[in-house]
Structure 1
Amino acid sequence: MHLGFIGFGEAAFELASGLKQHGLKKITAYDPLWKMKTYRGLVLSRAEKAKVELVESPEKVLQIADSVIVAVPADKALDVSNQLKSHLQNGCVYIDVSASSPDVKRKIAANVNEHGGKFVDAAMMGPLPVYKHKVPILASGDGTDTFMELMTAFEMNITKVSEVPGEATAVKLIRSIHMKGIAALYFELLEAAHEFNVDKLVIDSISETMNGHTFEETMNRLVTGTSIHALRRSIELGGTIEMLESVNIDSVMSQAAKTKLENLAKKNLRDSFNGAKPDHWLQVIEACKTAH
């Protein structure tokens, strides 16, 4: 197997380093930053450490590799596939690891399939410096089975989602609503707790509420309860926002939550459920679809 990389930033470097250590001998890469004086040294250093051959163009990578991992910024991924599609070898496995949207992934897949290639939407779900090539990967697209077969010998951790390009990335992006959103929420919470000198009391109180249950149990309780009490909880957040603004703390997360709850209250789910809390979050989501 001859593996190519288009884009040789941190992600590609970590993947290539791990694969080399596990016996993959032929790896070739291209990175446009190699031609820029400011970044040339960094790209060369990474290639040397990972024992990867650098070439002068992405087309050259496609000429000699039978599988290629495209690790470019999300806003460049579609343009790169447009540029490269006519250079794809028949049967080439084109693995896109960008965080592009599902719609963009489908367009890239169409470009790849148009010229006889197989497409993989690969969503990396963990820190690459920790896991390297064994980072958990969710994969979808018509090239997924081939990708998994090729990488079995190198112990890559790949889980197939489906044959549909974009579905693997959808998982990653939706997960980000929680992971990125809750990090921003923590900043707002901790700023307030520290400002009012109640750090430990707040953290201990939330810990007591959260630690006794699984994530899914907590999520279900909060969503089902909020479906009935959205209006009251939005009003309570109004007091929170007023308190934060009184000490000049940015309340953007609380404001967003208040708006979301107000919009939920307008759906009048309390009447839909006859005032009784539903058992499962899915009942709430389905009710939101039909509520006006």
Structure 2
Amino acid sequence: TVDNVPNCNCSCSSGTCQCIDCQVDSDCQANETCQQNKCVSNVTLVLFQNATRYSDGTSASSCKEYLDGKAGYPKATQNGAYWITANGKTFRSQCRINIDGGGWTLILKVDGSKSTFQYNKPIWTDGKTLNPTSFSLNLEEAKNDAFMHVSFKEVMVYFRDLPTYSSYGKVTFGLTASSMHSVISTNNYKAFDTPVGRSGWFGALNILKGVTASLQANCNREGINVRPNTSTEGVRIGIVGNEQNDCSTPDSYIGVGGTQNESNTEPTAGNLSKYGSSNGDQKTATFAFVYIR
């Protein structure tokens, strides 16, 4: 040992000893060689069919694994499209590697002015993809395989204003699941592990160009499948409000997967408010990107 450090690969020179990674290749992990007493990966990150993967043909299980790296493999440093292999499925998704702490995997792109991701649509529960090759940050709606197959502990929702797409706001919250599909497909309410809070949702929208967020004063229930009453408003990922001092009949929401309970002009991503909401009636559609980590 060196200075009582166990399992030290020791190198000594002129009476001074230090711990080193390796002396020979066999001291290193598979896919590594020993170079100047350091284990160096032989594998690189390469582009394949418009997305990045490892040069040995394999891929990480999430964007977080690309960021953190694993034994014998390099760490990713750039945002972009990456190949992911999770739960026996290999697919492409967008990774935010060096923004917002990095390691975020894109699972959904939702245009709040359209009804594609309306609360009751099968897209939330059917286990099928939508435009799975649309893994860039364009305005094409998409649901990729990461929604069904990648586990996570955190969720981040980015809101972009429509129609100019010139400003954005975000919320981040804790939620642990084997996949987003495993949580949403139950149709049961699930609270976030760490809540955003009413002010957090307001802040994410108020920063958008031309947007003033609004909710009724009471209830303020947030989470997944937030619809206390099937005949009133709700949202798949977000927060709801009510004018009565309970959560029985909410009429307002901020989030993704809105109900469009009264008309298809209500946003499926963004903010719906009515019946005495804090900043009046609003029907604010946004474009939403949902990430997990």
- Shorter chain as denominator, the TM-score bin is under 0.3
Structure 1-normalised TM-score? 0.25
Higher relative contact order (CA 8 A, sep 6+): 2
Structure 2-normalised TM-score? 0.25
Higher strand share: 2
Higher helix share: 1
